[in-house]
Chain A
Amino acid sequence: MKFLHQFFASLMLTLLIALPIYAQQKSEVEREVLVFFNTGIDADAQGRAVSLSSPLDSVLSRFSLDSRAITSAFPNFRKSDTLIMAENRRAIKMPDMSRVFKIKTRSIQERDRMIEALKKMPNVLFAEPNGVCAPTAVPNDPSFGSQWALRNTG
C-alpha cells in the first residue's frame, strides 16, 4: 500500500503543479474557518459582519484580527426559506444559513487555534475548517476500449 500512497501523492503533486491557480485557491480556502453563530453577530446587506458581541471581538483581537476578517458565508440566504413542504408532505426546516460566517486566518495553525477558541463560545454551534472538494477518479489509458462493466462476456 505504501507504493500506492506514493503514487497518489505524486499524482496530486502533478495536479498541483499543473494547476497553480487551483493550488493558490486551495491554500487560501484551507486557511478559512466556517462557523455557525447562533447569536452575537449579524451581517449587513453586503455580507459584512456587524454587531459583534464583545466575547467575539476579544477572540478576534487575540488573533490580531477584527470584524473585517469575517463575512457572511451565505449572503443571499433568505430567512423566509427556512420552512418548506416536501414532496412527502412533511415540513422540512432549512437551517438559518444567515448565521454561518467565514473567518479568514493567516495559516493552518492559526485556523486550528481559532476553531478551538470558537468552539468554547456558547453561541457557536459548529466551527470547522473550510476545504476544497476533490474528485475520486484516476484517469488511465484512454485507448482502453470496452465498456466491460455493463456486460462482461469474458
Chain B
Amino acid sequence: MPGADIKATEAWDIYTGNPNNIIAIIDVGVDPSHSDLSGKVLGDIGYSGRHGTLMAGVAAANTNNGTGIAGLDWNAKILSKRYGDNQATYQAIVDAVNYSPNVHVLNNSYYLGSGYSTLVHLAAAYAYKNNRVFVTGMGNDGSSQIQYPAAFGQGIIAVGASTRFDALWVGSNTGNHIDVVASGEAVRTTDLVVNNSYSSPSGTSMAAPYVSGLASLLKGYNPSLANDDIENIIKLSADKVPAMQGQNFNTQFGAGRINARRALEYLQAPYQLYQLTATGGTDVGYTNAYIAPIYAIPGLATANYSVKRHEVQKTVALPSMSTAQVWGRGAFTNGYANSPSFGMGFCEPVGMTPTTVTLRTYCYEIWTINGQYLGWYPCQPSQVQYAYTVWGVPGTPPPSVTITGITEPPAYSFNSYTANITNGTAPFSYNWESNYGTGTWYSVGNTNPINFGGGDPNNYWTLRVTVTDAQGRQAQGATNIYFTGSGGPYSARPDNIDKPLPTVFSLDQNYPNPFNPSTTISYALPKEARVKLTVFDVLGREVETLVNETKSAGVYQAVFNSSRLSSGTYFYRLQAGEFVQTKKMILAK
C-alpha cells in the first residue's frame, strides 16, 4: 500500500548517515563476510549468528554497492555484542556502551526468558545515563504479554511491528509501554550464506532495527541530540495510522508508524530545537521514609537505604513558539527518577501554558538503614538542575483571552466589555455570545442587549468571546454578568464588545463631564505596562491615585469618586510605560 512505509528513500534525499557512528547489535553475532556488511562489522566478529545478521542489514547494510539491500543508515558501523544468560546480556550491553563514545544506539531484538531482571535493567540504565539510545522489540506473542527489556520504562524505545497495510503485524505485543511501530512483516534483509544471503523474516525483532537505523541517522544529522531528544523526535514525527482513529497514542501502535523523512525534517527549519537548563525549584510534596536499594548514586555505596522522596517543580518561561513540545533530558538532569535505585536522571513537563512549562524531578533525603542521616541526593531542591528540550516552530504562542467589564451592572446600563488577548498573531476576529443558563448561545453585539426580566438576584448571564488569530488559532474566554438588584427588568447592553486590542496608548475624556459625584476614566494599553493614574487639583497637589499596578494590554476603566471634594477643575494624568498624558475634568456640585 503506498504510504504505509517508513519513508526511507525520501529520508535519504536529506541524509544518509555518518560513517563514524556505530550501532551496537546486541544479539547472537553478525556475519562480517556478508557483501552488504563487509568492512563495517566491529566487536565479536568471531561469531556469525543468523539473527544478528538479519538485524544488521535492516539498520545499516552497505548501500549503493550494486548488490543486495539497503540499510536505513547507509554509513554507520555495526558493533556485534553477544547476549546469552542475564549475566552475559548485562555484560554485552555495558561492553557496547564502553566500547566507544560513538556507539550511540543499541539494538536489542530479544526478550528476557526469565522476565523482569534487575541485573539487565541496571545495564539499560547505564546505557541511558551515558546518553545512549536503547531500542528493543515489543515481543511476538500477539498478546498483551509484558516482556523485558521492552517494559523497563524510562530510556527504552519499545517497538511494535506493522504490516505493509499499516495494520498491526499479527504477532506484535501490545501495552502501555509501546513507543512506536515500524515495518515488521516479511522484511527483506541480509542473511547467512546458507540461506542464500538474503531472506524476509517477520517480527518485532525486524521492526526494532528500523528504529535503531533512524536513531543513528538523527544522531548523525545533529550530533548534539540527547537520547531523549531522539526518542521524542521519532515519536512526534511518526505517522498516525488509520487504526489509531485520530488518537495520538494507543497500546497497539504507540505514537504511530515511524516516518524517517519527517523525523529528519523535524530537525530542519522552520523547526527549532532548544536544549535548555534550569536550576532550583519548589518542594511540592514528599513521601514517608521507605526502604530502597540504591545501586548507582555517586557518593553512596551500593546498599539498601531509608529514603524520603521529594517532588520538586519549577515553572520556566518558554521561548516564543507557535507550537511548542517539551520533554526532559534525563541524562543531563541531576534530579532523580521516582525510584532512586538506578540513579537515573529524570525531568518531565507536568503542565504547560502558551508561555510557560512546569518541570518535575525528584530529590531524596537519605538515611542508612540504621538511621544515620546522610543528607540530600543529588542536592537540596533549591539547587537541583533540570535539562529540558523545547521543540517547535518559532513564533508567537497561541492566543488566550479573558473578558474585562462590569460584572454587576446597574439596570438599563450601557457597559463596555473587552476581550484581552495575550499572544497570538494579529489581526484577530471576535465572536461574542451569551447564554442565560439554557445551554443555547446567542450572538451578542452592540445592538443585541442582554435582557433579563426577572427579579431573582442570583441569576446571571454568561458572556463569552471566541477569538481567532491570523493563523487560525482560537481561544475562548468567558465572564458571568450578575443582576444583583431586586426587581427588574434589567438590561446590560454590551457596548464596544467587538473592539480589538488597542494599537496605541490613549487616555479618554472622562464621562460624564462635568460630573457629580463620580465619573469614569477610560484608557487603553496596546501592550503590558506599568500603569499609574493620578488625580490632581489645580495647584498640582495629588488628590488620589486611582491605579498603580502593572496591567496587560487592553482597555480599562477607572471610577473617580469625588464625594469629599469641593467643586472646581481637576486634572488626571496617565503614566503607562513611556506614555504620559494629562486631561482636565470639572466637578460641579
Contacts and interface: CB of A to CB of B under 8 A. Distances in A.
| Most B CB within 10 A of own CB, among A5, A91, A93, A102 | A93
Interface stretch (B198-206, B439-447, B507-515): B198-206
Contacts of A138: 140, 171, 201-203
B114 A152 contact: no
Contact of A4 (B10, B142, B183): B142
A20 interface: no
B142 A86 contact: no
A8 interface: yes
A34 B87 contact: yes
A152 B298 contact: no
Contact of A125 (B85, B202, B293): B293
Contacts of A122: 304, 369
A150 B186 contact: no
Interface in B55-109: 69-70, 72, 83-87, 89, 91, 94, 101, 109
Given A99-B302, A130-B87, A133-B84, A8 B200 contact: no
Interface stretch (B188-196, B264-272, B516-524, B576-584): B188-196
Contact of B5 (A32, A34, A148): A148
A38 B116 CA distance: 21
Contact of B91 (A8, A74, A132): A74
Contacts of A95: 122, 295-296, 302
A93 B187 contact: no
A84 to B, nearest CB: 8
Interface residues of B, number: 90
B200 A145 contact: yes
A16 interface: no
B45 to A, nearest CB: 19
Interface stretch (B15-23, B126-134, B409-417): B126-134
A1 interface: yes
Contacts of A125: 118, 293, 295, 302-304
Given A95-B122, A95-B295, A150-B72, A135 B85 contact: no
A4 B171 contact: yes
A36 B296 contact: no
B115 interface: yes
Contacts of A87: 101, 130-131
A110 interface: no
Given A88-B332, A137-B203, A144-B186, A150 B5 contact: yes
A126 interface: yes
A153 B89 contact: no
Contact of B139 (A136, A151, A152): A136
A154 B10 CA distance: 16
B3 A131 contact: no
Interface residues of A, number: 56
Contacts, number: 215
A93 B205 contact: no
B297 A90 contact: no
A45 interface: no
A134 B114 CA distance: 10
Interface in A3-34: 4-5, 8, 26, 29-30, 32, 34
B494 to A, nearest CB: 57
A142 to B, nearest CB: 4
A73 B94 CA distance: 15
A149 B170 CA distance: 16
A66 interface: no
B321 to A, nearest CB: 25
A137 B296 contact: no
Nearest to B166: A152
Contact of A142 (B115, B200, B204, B331): B200
Nearest to B143: A1
B381 interface: no
B182 A142 contact: no
B210 interface: yes
Contacts of B7: 151
A154 B164 CA distance: 9
B179 interface: no
A147 B188 contact: yes
Given A149-B183, A150-B5, A152-B3, A131 B85 contact: yes
Interface in A83-125: 83, 86-88, 90-96, 99-100, 102, 122, 125
For the complex of A and B, the 4 pairs showing the least CB-CB separation, nearest first, are A131-B114, A149-B183, A137-B205, A137-B203
Interface of B: 1-10, 27-28, 51, 54, 69-70, 72, 83-87, 89, 91, 94, 101, 109-119, 122, 126, 129-131, 137-143, 147, 164, 170-171, 182-183, 186-189, 191, 195-196, 198-206, 208, 210, 226, 293, 295-298, 300-304, 331-332, 334, 343, 345, 369
19 contacts: A1-B142, A4-B171, A30-B114, A36-B118, A36-B293, A90-B331, A90-B345, A92-B298, A126-B119, A126-B293, A128-B114, A129-B115, A130-B85, A130-B87, A131-B113, A132-B113, A133-B112, A138-B140, A141-B186
Given A88-B332, A95-B302, A135-B28, 14 more contacts: A36-B293, A90-B332, A90-B334, A92-B129, A93-B296, A94-B126, A95-B295, A126-B293, A130-B85, A137-B205, A144-B186, A148-B164, A149-B5, A150-B6
